[in-house]
A and B are shown apart, each in its own frame.
Chain A
Amino acid sequence: MPSYVAKPTPPNQDKRWKLVDATIRRQGAQQRGLIETLHTVQEAFGYLDEQALRYVAMSLRVPLSRAYGVATFYHFFTLKPAGEHTCVICMGTACYIKGSQHLLDAVQHDLGIGPGETTADKKVSLLTARCLGSCGLAPAVVYDQEVAGKVGTAAVREHLKKWTHA
């Protein structure tokens, strides 16, 4: 049995830490719960910052280096806050064959940012996905959680215009 170590207190009064604590408890505060806990943090706060990583590492008694290692190893975790809107372009094989590279090029050109980046005014984040599994609808784009299928360059430009001029 590991010796008893006092549980650290959350970094601040934010109620969302209660969700994180609940996951830690459900995992029995064991090291194996690291990925599950990071999922909860990202779901609650949108991204993983240094203070969150420190808190999770201390709560699960893993070295900060390991928490950071896991957070940076997996593509799903992000250390930066996302913009107000997110546009995810699927780059899976079916979408690629049906021209998703053109969509990505067009969006990069219009927004002036690359995949994984957010516009300077924090309005739009551009992401790419490995495969959404919506191959029947290729090429697919996700606008703020909503999947759109058989998207053309004109349509994606039109949609982004609504966000950037809002």
Chain B
Amino acid sequence: MTPEELDQIAESEREAQSQFTQRVNVCVAAGCLSCQSQSVKDALDQEVTRRGTKDHCQVKGVGCMGLCSEGPLVSTSNGVLYKKVEASDGAAILDGLDGEPVSRLVCPTDVPFFQRQKKIVLENSGVIDPDRVEDYVAAKGYTALIKALTEMTSREVIDEVTKSGLRGRGGAGYPTGLKWSTVSKSVGTQKYLVCNADEGDPGAFMDRSVLESDPHRVLEGMLIAAYAVGASEGYIYVRAEYPLAIKRLRNAIRQAERIGLLGSNICGTRFSFRLDVRLGAGAFVCGEETALIASVEGKRGTPRPRPPYPAMEGLFGQPTLINNVETFANIAPIIRNGGEWYAGIGTEKSKGTKVFALAGRVENTGLVEVPMGISLREMVFEIGGGIPEGRRFKAVQTGGPSGGCLPADCLDMPVDYESLARAGSIMGSGGMIVMDESSCMVDVAKYFMDFCMTESCGKCIPCRVGTYHMHRILSAIANMNATPEDMKMLEQLCDLLKHTSLCGLGQSAPNPVVSTLRSFAEEYRAHIQDHKCPAGVCGAQSAAVGAGERETA
């Protein structure tokens, strides 16, 4: 593959696409597929064939368009977005291409949910066909790789990433340029690259969406990183629970190998890179880098003490660069447009954009990409559209089981790494779950502690035993039979786990408890002193079944 050949592919694809005067894009990412978007696409295909307009009207399966709660979503070349489309709507939508849009299905796009977003990572999502490399190449795909390989030294690539101010999108926010620089300076017989796609946080689906909607973007980022640090072998560690993402990723790898962008002597240079997919097997702790490495090596995913950091001694004892999916997805635009361009977006210390999975008790749930520094209020009330059924906002949870619950008085805080940490939560990988007054904070803390207890790998005692006892106390509080001494013990355990656990799982397990204790202490008091749950959630299990029946009756 030479730069000219890549241009050729882009050119002929653009020409082929210009034959079509009309386009209908159907979302075929997991969210819409589970609302039968495949049958919508099939119906549209059939209808186009029946009308004999196949040569100028294109029906294309594309990635996620963001507003998952209104799926299946369909967009057309005359700028209309349709929601909740059914297979029987196919003919009407095709009629709408020439005339009036089908008003009953139109989803307004002039609302904050779409207007307030800034798409860098997701720029191709919902636009290109994730199963065709040609479509990616036509959208300027792989030009950043070519630029890096033919015009830049590996040092210059690292400098550009450093200049961009990009920080790890997996949650901890370690400066990406610094990490790359450390790996590039490490000495080893072989260097490895690992992409962490083990998206374990419940309530987070950014990485899955990126892999399903634009897999080549991740490959391109990995290739540039491999060139920069001098790695020749890489793995993408994906959750086995994401079959569609795995399928599209494997397909993308095959296509990149076929056109010579993966393999030996890429673009006629001395750079060679091989890439393989490794399936996770459902262990939250494998999101921790040393546990992930153990898992790629075929072992139980237990973490080990650091240092040595994976940058020095990682996979098979060799220097290893580990980054998250979204971090890699940011690389191509940074190389294409320059680090300064990227550094111009966001806040002083948190640059660029962040993809969030907005879910829970908000009107608009789905995937959004916003510039860093946007306020929580804008996220929840403008982009999210506020709380449904006229209920009151209570808290927003970020960072999953390692994060915290932020109350209403944090709403005007900007969303960036430092502010979230100061408020007792973390940026995390991007799950953002909104809760209203129907959620009990003790119950939420218990839920996350149950998660951490089950997912603790058992290697270190503070985490293994501590999470068990914290869960026991939280259950007692929820069952209204805890004592004030239990509360003291709970607070002591929070401190103990934070300071003595081996890895991030145990160290951050108390966060949901600490943050709810800080902002919602009166709810804990109500459970312990008045034996009452203000939200009406806690109580006997049979009562819960009764409530569920009433809700759906």
Decide if A and B are genuine partners. Answer: yes
Residues of A within 8 A of B (CB): 31-36, 38-39, 66, 69-70, 73-77, 91-94, 96-99, 101-103, 105-106, 109, 129-138, 140, 146-149, 152-155
Beta-carbon contact of A75 and B283 below 8 Å: yes
Contact A32 B297 (CB under 8 A): yes
- State whether A153 touches B552 (Cβ < 8 A): yes
Known pairs A34-B299, A76-B241, A130-B241 / 16 extra A-B pairs, C-beta < 8 Å: A31-B298, A32-B297, A32-B316, A33-B298, A36-B278, A76-B281, A93-B360, A93-B431, A94-B433, A102-B551, A131-B201, A136-B67, A136-B68, A136-B367, A138-B359, A155-B552
* CA–CA, A155 and B242, complex, Å: 25
Inter-chain contact A35/B281, CB cutoff 8 Å: yes
Q: Do A97 and B439 touch across chains, with their CB atoms under 8 A apart?
A: yes
Give, as a whole number of angstroms, the nearest-CB distance from B17 to chain A: 29
List, in ascending order, chain A residues with CB within 8 A of B199's CB.
Answer: 133
Give 11 CB contacts A-B under 8 Å: A75-B282, A75-B283, A76-B282, A91-B202, A93-B397, A94-B203, A97-B433, A105-B545, A131-B200, A153-B548, A153-B551
Closest B residue by C-beta to A40:
B279
Asked if A133 and B34 make an inter-chain contact with CB atoms under 8 angstroms apart, the answer reads no
Residues of chain B within 8 A of A134, CB atoms compared: 30-31, 34, 68, 205
Q: Which residues of A contact B439 (CB under 8 A)?
A: 97
Q: How far is the CB of A90 from chain B (nearest CB, A)?
A: 8
- B465 near A: Cβ within 8 Å? no
B365 in contact with A39 (CB, 8 Å) = no
B298 close to A137 (CB less than 8 A): no
Q: Which residues of the partner chain A approach B547 to less than 8 Å between Cβ atoms?
A: 102
Chain A residues within 8 Å of B548, by CB? 99, 102-103, 105-106, 153
A154 to B284, CA, bound (A): 31
In the A-B complex, list the 4 residue pairs whose CB atoms are closest, starting with the nearest.
A102-B548, A136-B68, A74-B281, A133-B205
Do A97 and B360 touch (CB < 8 A)?
Answer: yes
Q: Please name the residue on chain B nearest to A33 by beta carbon.
A: B298
Given contacts A93-B400, A93-B447, A149-B35, contact A109 B553 (CB under 8 A): no
- Contact present for B551 and A131 (CB under 8 Å): no
Chain B residues, Cβ within 8 Å of A98:
360-361
From B34, B69, B301, A73 is in contact (CB under 8 Å) with: B301
Contact partners of A136 in chain B: CB under 8 A: 31, 67-69, 71, 359, 365-367
Interface residue? B442 (CB, 8 A): no
B447 surroundings in chain A (CB, below 8 A) = 93, 96
Complex Cα spacing A92 to B205, Å: 11
The residues of B that contact A129 with a CB separation of less than 8 Å are: 241
CA gap between A85 and B340 in the complex, in Å: 55
Question: What CA separation (Å) do A76 and B199 show in the bound complex?
Answer: 14
B100 at the interface (CB under 8 A from A): no
Chain B residues within an 8 Å CB radius of A75? 281-283
Residues on B with beta carbons closer than 8 Å to the beta carbon of A69? 300
Using CB atoms, name the residue of chain A closest to B435. Answer: A97
Q: A138 to B365, Cβ gap below 8 A?
A: yes
Q: How far does the Cβ of B18 sit from chain A's closest Cβ, in whole Å?
A: 34
B203 touches A93 (CB 8 A): yes
Q: What distance in Å separates the Cβ of B196 from its nearest Cβ neighbour in chain A? A: 15
Asked if B402 is an interface residue, CB under 8 A from chain A, the answer is: no
B549 CB within 8 Å of chain A? yes
Question: Do A152 and B551 touch across chains, with their CB atoms under 8 A apart?
Answer: yes
